[in-house]
A and B are shown apart, each in its own frame.
Chain A
């Protein structure tokens, strides 16, 4: 498919003008990636899925955030709190190359490098190369601390197309307090400019705890992002990781509905907001998977049950396990781990006292699963 044919295909899809413009730009630089992305709605019509793959190669992080979902995977937690060690085989660059190849064969097109804080990884550039920007759209999460002009231009030059920058509050003190890191707000603001100057696609991401959607501070953040033409990704607080003991953070349907309403006015979205003509609802497996540092595949960043280990099971079979699981496969409009009380309870019961997450396939999820 040449560039012109791709432009025609894009015009036939249910895309907003902004989405169309981004896809057209991508098709010039990375035609193979653009072709795969343009094919996603056709895949969905056939019952095929195209999840974003989050790679957690390392959990090293220079922050210690109040709500971190990855805290329980970090060496510092295992060693200092649980007095144990990570003794499982760790992901290598060869693993990533293999995952990239399998994903490409399945028509998957998007990778997010996450962690931990990706920009403290010494082998960050090698990870990008192993994913291969000519095969996949490469995104990096970051807390922004190290994203200055020079770094932003560099990561763009090696094939990162987009960064997702965490911002917890538009009030400087609140953000720094939530992140437990003085001056982190200022670094985020610097990183916003750096990413835009480097012509990186940028989204801000923020965590929504119960009641926050109604606050002026939240709407101010929505306005800030919109005024700068930056998307604001809103992630519901989930009672996992550092937030396990904060059930009061779990949002209500009203919170979710307020955000859905704000989507009309601002460039704000959640993981369940329809985009690029896709109406997935909860994106577990269908729209996202996470691969942990031990090559375990979880169906979303916040569910600590594995669907299989990629050193033992091919990605295709792991995805099929997810799609036939009654919690994960069927279409639903709400967030499984953020809103469904039965699943939250099940998740908390099964992960309680477990030192090495995620639970292997068969101990968390299995082919025997039932809803009740």
Chain B
């Protein structure tokens, strides 16, 4: 196995960037890998179909085969197979002609996440702290490659995996690092992160120690690119919010890569 791009834990190496990044991680904020590992693919599929994609045309076997093929492809590539040592979470994106990412997130994705989270954790809450309308408020980071996803969902349902492997990277560091990774590696944005959480609403649950905050890495506020959006637990609850990132890295701030089938 090569550690040219990803270390033994599947974290992207920090050597491709001069921007703010933690060169090494003390692994203080972590996802609950065991909890996530025990989630069956059919649970992901059922949740996404029920709450986000009621008109889904692909079936479970097609979804499963796609995910397996994607993992198999990574496994065969010595430069990138360490990525499989990281947590990966499947997602499905419904077809959509909505050109405005903010409006699509607000109208479709966040309500789906709220329903899925409430269904799994009826005693707890999903809270959207962004009181202002998101329509026309969100733009895609240049060089995030996110247009590949926004273009593809115009015609197809999209299946893929997210890898929260840019942990403790700043936005500029994540974008700069992506330039060194294969063209099919995309900086994960709102759609995939939220879909992955719809499928796996316990993704940010952790009993001992704290899980990380997940940025919607490919997106920023249209008026101020210092303001970005994220999902974050608050106790047993899940929240959507915005905050200033100041081009800084933090142990608690994680970015993700999406790879689509």
Contact = CB atoms under 8 A, between A and B. Distances in A.
Q: Answer yes or no: do A and B interact.
A: yes
Interface in A105-144: none
Contact of B209 (A253, A264, A329, A372): A253
B241 A371 contact: no
Contacts of B24: 372
B236 A261 contact: yes
Interface residues of A, number: 26
B248 interface: yes
Interface residues of B, number: 33
A342 interface: yes
A330 B243 CA distance: 13
Contacts of B252: 281, 330-333
Contacts of B208: 252-253
B244 A44 contact: yes
Contacts of B213: 331, 333
A333 B24 CA distance: 20
A209 B94 CA distance: 48
A59 to B, nearest CB: 34
A333 B226 contact: no
Given A46-B244, A253-B209, A371 B251 contact: yes
B224 A45 contact: yes
Interface stretch (B47-55, B186-194, B227-235): B227-235
A333 B210 contact: yes
A368 interface: no
Contacts of A330: 248-253
A180 interface: no
A371 B251 CA distance: 10
Interface of A: 14, 44-47, 252-254, 256-257, 260-261, 264, 274, 279, 281, 329-334, 340, 342, 371-372
CB-CB nearest 4 A-B residue pairs: A260-B235, A330-B250, A257-B235, A47-B246
Interface of B: 22, 24, 26, 28-29, 125, 129, 131, 206-210, 213, 224, 226-227, 232-237, 241, 243-244, 246, 248-253
21 contacts: A45-B227, A47-B226, A253-B207, A253-B208, A254-B207, A257-B236, A261-B235, A330-B249, A330-B250, A330-B253, A331-B250, A331-B253, A332-B250, A333-B233, A333-B234, A340-B28, A342-B26, A342-B28, A371-B22, A371-B26, A371-B28
